[in-house]
Amino acid sequence: MPTTGHEDPPGEAPWALQLVGRVERASRPSRTAVYEAAAMAVVALLADDRSRPDGEWGPSVERWLAGRIRKIARRARGADWERVQALPGVTVLQGGAEVRALVPGPVDEVPPEVSRLQLRAWGLDDPGARPDVAPVVGGAVVVSLAAAPLLSTGKGAAAAGHAAQLAWMMMEPARRRQWAASGFEVVVEQPGDLAWLVRRQTAPVVVVDAGYTEVEPDTCTAVARWV
């Protein structure tokens, strides 16, 4: 699989991977938990046998990776969440958060079960936000989110998912197998300004946003590192 996207084919609508997070009225996950579950769900979908070139999801995944790699994160609850579970994809539960990564498709053909869902205003607190996490040998991938600009929950989930995806694509096979054994565990940190500058300069994965939503083009939104 390619490690980065290209321009979308002329005359075709862009493709995107939709992420749906569960946010019930009486049970709200933290933002960090949503970020981690989203990142893990993206990688779990890509690693699924159905995403292989000869698998049932293979053509859709390959088409998505061949263009600009977009991710769109939405929230759902109750019956809306249950309806999303019937769509092709992978759901991950992490730290009290549930996120489903759906098989990519054209942005002008989003299933109605998804298009009706809220994009913004997730209304989540983040009491467990971590400013500094040290990677462990053979352990979780650490994703750092930008100190500024402040990302919305949906944008942060998409950025974390992109960073984890690129980490999975860049890893040596033996290290990838170690990561898979943990269920592709991701730990998200939100460093301060100075630590963020260091992360940007030293991390093997750096996510530079195309600027379609919220941030200016070429804004670095996330990085990932592992040992």
Strand-strand pairing, 186-189 and 141-145: parallel
Q: How many helices (H) and strands (E) does the chain have?
A: 7, 9
Output the pTM of the full model: 0.95
pLDDT at 78: 97
**Is pLDDT above 50 for 105?**
yes
Interhelix angle 31-47/153-170, rounded to 10 degrees, is: 40
Domain spans of the chain, in order of start? 15-120+129-225
Please say whether the beta carbons of 223 and 203 come within 8 A. yes
pLDDT at 118: 86
Say how far apart CA 157 and CA 23 lie, in whole Å: 14
Please say whether the beta carbons of 219 and 162 come within 8 A. no
pLDDT at 6: 64
Section 184-199 average pLDDT: 96
pLDDT at 10: 80
Please say whether the beta carbons of 222 and 163 come within 8 A. yes
